[in-house]
């Protein structure tokens, strides 16, 4: 089984990338590929730019990478209650190539933030929208107060209850 995991943020120290990496590691997959949205930076999407340059090669590359997965582990960064601009731009470019951006792949959808709501707003938006774009969302998980509940050095959730909740979800896959 191959897992593609990413944090939907372009932060070099993305807490969502850390959470996605940890969650992916719990599956015992034969291969885990953690991708960085910074490798897919494109100009801001517009229909005018698309008419001028066509489908962006990095959007095609992102879609190809997703196509190689048996499972997607995606952790959503929350910017003002919604997707990060970096993720939204990639999503916009890709959706112009195919409306099934997530290619009917099973998905574990996550979110975290430094705050007590743990990215709950963006998680709800993504949970409702992603199935229309080809995501088979099998489960969702929110980790609140990331800095209090995750050890960056060890790369794991430190709160036993939250860790057990995530492990239960993964066991159901």
Q: How confident is the model at residue 23 (pLDDT cuts 50, 70, 90)?
A: very high
Q: How confident is the model at residue 161 (pLDDT cuts 50, 70, 90)?
A: very high
Angle 39-129-89 from CA coordinates, rounded to 5°? 30
Determine the pLDDT at residue 106: 98
CB atoms within 10 A of CB 61: 12
Residues 119-156: pLDDT tens digits? 999 999 999 999 999 999 999 999 999 999 999 999 99
Determine the pLDDT at residue 89: 98
Determine the pLDDT at residue 30: 82
Determine the pLDDT at residue 1: 92
Distances (CA, A) of 170 to 22, 59, 60, 75, 132: 12, 29, 29, 14, 23
Residues 54-73: pLDDT tens digits? 999 999 999 999 999 999 99
């Amino acid at each position: 089984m191959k897992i593609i995991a990413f944090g939907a943020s372009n932060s070099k120290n993305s807490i969502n990338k850390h959470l996605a990496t940890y969650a992916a590691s719990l599956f015992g997959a034969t291969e885990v590929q953690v991708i960085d949205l910074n490798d897919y930076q494109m100009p801001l999407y517009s229909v005018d730019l698309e008419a001028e340059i066509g489908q962006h090669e990095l959007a095609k590359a992102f879609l190809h990478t997703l196509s190689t997965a048996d499972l997607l582990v995606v952790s959503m960064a929350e910017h003002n209650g919604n997707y990060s601009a970096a993720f939204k731009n990639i999503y916009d470019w890709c959706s112009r190539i195919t409306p099934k951006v997530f290619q009917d792949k099973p998905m574990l959808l996550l979110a975290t933030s430094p705050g007590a709501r743990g990215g709950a707003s963006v998680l709800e938006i993504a949970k409702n929208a992603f199935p229309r774009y080809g995501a088979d969302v099998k489960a969702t998980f929110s980790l609140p107060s990331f800095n209090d509940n995750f050890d960056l050095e060890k790369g794991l959730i430190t709160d036993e209850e939250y860790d057990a909740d995530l492990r239960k979800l993964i066991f159901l896959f």
